[in-house]
């Protein structure tokens, strides 16, 4: 038994030294201009899905579907999100293209099909291992829900709000 335990401890020591050497000799890539390997994508996506399943709110949206809330959502999006997720023309900025996980252009590749609670969780908590920031330190609960409302109804906005959305300047970076 003692020998077995000594073997287990030795295996752990070798593993820890191996991981330390792997990281400190620069074998773990630190660059953002390549495609994430399958194992990293699997870990990021699986843990994201599991966290959302456990934590995303399920109840009704606590903010009313009014023009004023949608309008506020568009403005918050223009100020906080368009730099990565683009305006209504769906043209990506240099920042969006350079992120390690490319930021989806939400006018083209939107999230209207996702439940509101899922969108809320991503905006509030951010997405680890990607450039998606958490907005819990900066936006109020009401503001997060207003952005969620806008993203959920992006394809069916009332005329006045649609006009504001179309007037958000393109995020495309000048050549
Ligand atoms: C600095 C860049 C950046 C900013 C600013 C940013 N995001 Fe993101 N966001 C990302 C990236 C990168 C992803 C992709 C993450 C991934 O691949 O899972 C993402 C993913 C998302 C998703 C999930 C998309 C999907 O297809 O499931 C939503 C929703 C989202 N962001 C909303 C927002 C909102 C709303 C804001 C502003 C309040 C915002 N983001 C600001 C970079 C950003």
135 lines ligand 1 (CB under 6 A): yes
> Could you report the per-residue pLDDT of 85-138, keeping only the tens digit for each?
999 999 999 999 999 888 999 999 999 999 999 999 999 999 988 899 999 999
Question: What pLDDT is recorded for position 125?
Answer: 97
> Could you report the per-residue pLDDT of 39-52, keeping only the tens digit for each?
988 999 999 999 99
Instruction: Specify the pTM.
Output: 0.92
User: What distance in angstroms lies between residue 85's CA and the mean position of ligand 1's atoms?
Assistant: 7
User: What distance in angstroms lies between residue 66's CA and the mean position of ligand 1's atoms?
Assistant: 24
C-alpha separations of 79 from 20, 54, 76, 147 in Å? 41, 30, 5, 11
Domains of the chain: residue spans and CATH: 56-166 (1.10.760.10)
User: What distance in angstroms lies between residue 40's CA and the mean position of ligand 1's atoms?
Assistant: 18
DSSP class of residue 25 equals T
For 125, residues 6+ apart whose C-beta sits below 8 A from its C-beta are 51, 55, 134, 136
């Amino acid at each position: 038994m003692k020998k077995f335990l000594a073997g287990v401890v030795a295996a752990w020591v070798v593993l820890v030294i191996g991981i330390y050497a792997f990281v400190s000799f620069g074998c773990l890539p630190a660059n953002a201009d390549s495609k994430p390997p399958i194992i990293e994508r699997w870990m990021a996506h699986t843990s994201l899905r599991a966290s959302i399943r456990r934590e995303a709110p399920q109840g009704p949206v606590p903010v009313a579907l009014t023009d004023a809330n949608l309008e506020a959502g568009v403005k918050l999006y223009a100020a906080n999100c368009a730099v990565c997720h683009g305006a209504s023309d769906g043209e990506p900025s240099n920042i969006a293209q350079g992120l390690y996980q490319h930021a989806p252009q939400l006018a083209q590749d939107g999230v209207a099909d996702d439940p509101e609670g899922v969108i809320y969780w991503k905006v509030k908590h951010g997405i680890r291992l990607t450039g998606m920031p958490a907005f819990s330190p900066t936006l109020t609960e009401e503001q997060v829900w207003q952005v969620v409302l806008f993203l959920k109804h992006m394809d069916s906005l009332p005329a006045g709000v649609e006009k504001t959305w179309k007037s958000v300047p393109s995020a495309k970076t000048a050549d």
